[in-house]
Amino acid sequence: MENYISVKETAKRWNISPRRIQMLCNENKVLGAKKHSGVWLIPCGVKKPERMKLGAKRKDTATLRVLSLFSGCGGMDLGFEGGFRVLRKSVNTTIHKEWKIEEEGENWLRLPKNKYRTVFANDIKPEAKAAWSNYFKKRGLDGTSYYLDSIVDLVKLEKENKRNIFPESVDIVTGGFPCQDFSIAGKRLGLASDKGHNGKKMNRNGPTVENRGQLYMWMREVIAMTKPKVFIAENVKGLTNLHDVKEIIEKDFSLVCNEGYLVVPARVLNAARYGVPQGRERLIFFGFKKSELTGEALEKLSAEKVDPEYDPYPIPTHYLEREKRLKDELPFVTVRNAFIDLQEPDKSEDVSQQKYSKAKFMGKHCQGQQEIKLDGIGPTIRSEHHGNIEFRRLSKEHGGVYDEELNIGMEERRLTIRECARIQTFPDDYDFVIPRQGENLSVSASQAYKIIGNAVPPLLAFHIAKRLEENWRKYFGDSND
């Protein structure tokens, strides 16, 4: 059995700092190193990685390092990394001629890989980590870089010098801070949420900075500690009409590092405008580190009306209403488009397509009792399970309209896990219903519905990431070349 030694012991042997050892481990350059309870363990006999020859370029010189917070199952992470399969109809190759697209059959394309690499992720849900680790290990990411801890606890650990948590040399911080307290589907308690950072009910009287509605303040702490060139935060559209919460959050973010960040006014993006077969609207915040921006970029991004050339928000590629179509935009992607090639659950070999909620129809006065419109935009996939998942098909008795399917005996049923994932633009090689593997828990169908509904659509995240990548030199000069 392999013997392991600590980072501190290894640092003494190799005559370099413990922090450097941790960085080498995070970059997968220490053969056989593994993480246990957040601590790196180094094989006893492993050799020190060879230095790069003088003048030789590192292979990952151009890589931009991403620290992901509130990561869930990785919709934002996948979008930033790129290199996944999407529907042909979801990509507008006229608007984005520069994208190096690979064709995969008649109906599918593979998006190019981006320059980003996820070096850290976290969430409090074990099932989210299990799904993330199971998928991203196939892409060469180490599951030990995913911390199953509250951001509040991680920040406290780092500040108290109990443990080195957050990696150094981070270029981008992303985070979809919890949205339940701002969503129109919830109580809308906002910043005064009665839930704690761990998702549990709080017993304290009055609001506290550790409640779920103020977790963006802890994202702000991570930004202050890691000092990325740019951060991107995401939340629900409902935040924009809840008192002056949007403006409060923009102001709080701008105060990081003694007003060191320029926060571009947050904007609502509708995923359907970017080829996602779903009417999902999300509020996106961009913050740029002022000291890293070029003089011209600082001036352009600070303007009351941002120059389109410097605008960090991606250009829409699809239109929703024909009369509002702009030049070269494609029609929205329908649910029927999204479900192409999918077999019925009893005929599919995909476990995520076999599984669906068996909750019976409860009357149209309840949430989730609607039949989806195959030739329309899909419903917003919510973090729900069982009785709140929309129906793929309803019986005539319950108002179903798909006579052709009903007449050949297809049953009334709710959307499958895979159908929800397709509407969210997750690729089919992402398994959501998985057995227990090592330290990772299993993921049930009920849990899969929830983590899919919590995610940022990967294709929307790809548009955000690609726009930032294309403008990187414009914003920051040649600092990463």
Catalytically annotated residues: 179
Q: What percent of the chain is helix, strand and coil (3-state, nearest 5)? A: 35, 20, 50
Q: In sequence order, which ranges of 269-402 are alpha helices (DSSP H)?
A: 295-302, 335-338, 351-354
Place of tokens 């829409």: 316
Q: What would the DSSP string read from start to end of 129-173?
A: HHHHHHHHGGGT--GGGEE-S-HHHHHHHHHTTS---SPSS--EE
Distance in angstroms (rounded) separating the CA atoms of residues 464 and 76: 9
In angstroms, the Cα distances linking 293 to 265, 310, 390, 473 are 17, 12, 46, 9
What are the strands, taking DSSP E only, across 342-440? 391-393, 413-414
Q: In sequence order, which ranges of 260-309 are alpha helices (DSSP H)?
A: 295-302
Burial of 318 (0-12, 13-18, 19+ CB in 10 A): buried
Backbone angles phi, psi at 16, to 5 degrees: -135, 170
Distance in angstroms (rounded) separating the CA atoms of residues 205 and 207: 7
Distance in angstroms (rounded) separating the CA atoms of residues 105 and 432: 24
Which region holds residue 227: left if phi is over 0, alpha if psi is between -120 and 50, else beta? left
- Rounded to 10°, the helix 216-226/245-254 angle is 20
In angstroms, the Cα distances linking 338 to 236, 277, 333, 342, 420 are 23, 7, 7, 9, 10
